[in-house]
Amino acid sequence: MTESRTDTIASRGAGSVATGHAAEIVARGRAVIRQERLALEQVEHRLDARFADAVSLIAGSRGRVIVAGVGKSGLIGRKIAATLTSTGTPAAFLHPVDSVHGDLGLVGTDDVAILISKSGESTEVMALLEHLQRFGVRTIGITGAARSLLGRHCDVVLDAAVDEEACPHDLAPTTSTTAALVIGDALAVALLLEKGFRREDFARLHPGGPLGKRLLTRVTDVMVIEDLPILPASATMLEAVVQMAERRGTVMIVDDSRRLVGVVTVGDMVRLIERTPDWQGVAVLDVMTTNPRTVRADELGSAAVFRLQSKGIMAMPVLDADGRVDGIVHLHDLLRAGSA
């Protein structure tokens, strides 16, 4: 039996580190996660009305959110800006150093700025704050020092203080950046809810992802509308077999107004042949399913997939509001379009 890649990696890892030392390494990792988790609990408990003020400030703005920070705070700022943008709040990252070399041109008077600094004393961030205030831009500070320069001069300050970094020397930004990131995520989600941002809105901003495909694909995007497998109610099963062979196994039976009266499938045909030797002349009316599952053209592809899979069928007629046949949609076409 071929060893799985996961098993191979696990066995190699177990062999390369002594058992006792491996346990020590795992304990260190858990300690970091535990320390950051406890720090986040403190951040959560300190969250107060100023958070609501920040959300209201951004939600009421007619401009964008400008996110800024230097070093590790800058990296966190880029992620916060990306999260805001993807959840319906347009945002852009502005590096404080680049801002004084021409990038201030992206700032508008209707914008709101989020400035991130653990100490709240960053020279670059404070210089940017001065320029933003000159433009009349409202500011939100995310800092671990509420009484710092940044904390005192921003319109709203959010407390991201932590007792110590996970770094054993209390130097490398670890716990503090996690706290800032979580506050940014909290802002994005609160704004998402405040604005009534829906799954469909998310999908429109992520058309290339799996969720986007599931939520944006409609039945009309994949249904067959030409050379449809349609027969009149007067047809025989021999005619139906020809249609099944040429047009993927499901035949729709319609009246003179093209209203659906039933469907005949390969399964119906097989059952008929098993019990009726002279099946060719049997009327489709005697074999068809008279109340088949159907779908509308404007329905989500994912809804059609669920209906098809839950009932174990491969295709459904697509009907208009009057019950007339618009087309037919096949399970495989929906799956290829990413509607699963």
Predicted confidence (pLDDT) per residue in 46-101, tens digit: 999 999 999 999 999 999 999 999 999 999 999 999 999 888 888 999 999 887 66
Please name the residue that has the structure tokens 């066995």.
Answer: 11
More confident residue, 4 or 33: 33
Give the integer Cα–Cα distance in Å for 61 and 90. 11
Structure tokens at 94: 């502005």
Q: Which residues pair with 157 in a beta bridge?
A: 141
Give the integer Cα–Cα distance in Å for 276 and 286. 12
Please report the DSSP string for 260-272 in residue order: EEEEEEHHHHHHH
Task: Check: CB of residue 183 under 8 Å from CB of residue 167.
Answer: no
Q: Which residues pair with 78 in a beta bridge?
A: none
Task: Check: CB of residue 131 under 8 Å from CB of residue 66.
Answer: no
Helix then strand then coil, % of the chain, to nearest 5: 50, 15, 35
> What pTM did the predictor assign?
0.61
> DSSP label at 2?
P
pLDDT at 338: 67
Task: Check: CB of residue 132 under 8 Å from CB of residue 108.
Answer: no
> DSSP label at 8?
H
What domains can be seen in the chain, in order of their start residue? Answer: 14-197 (3.40.50.10490), 219-336 (3.10.580.10)
Predicted confidence (pLDDT) per residue in 287-305, tens digit: 999 999 999 998 888 888 8
Give the integer Cα–Cα distance in Å for 37 and 22. 23
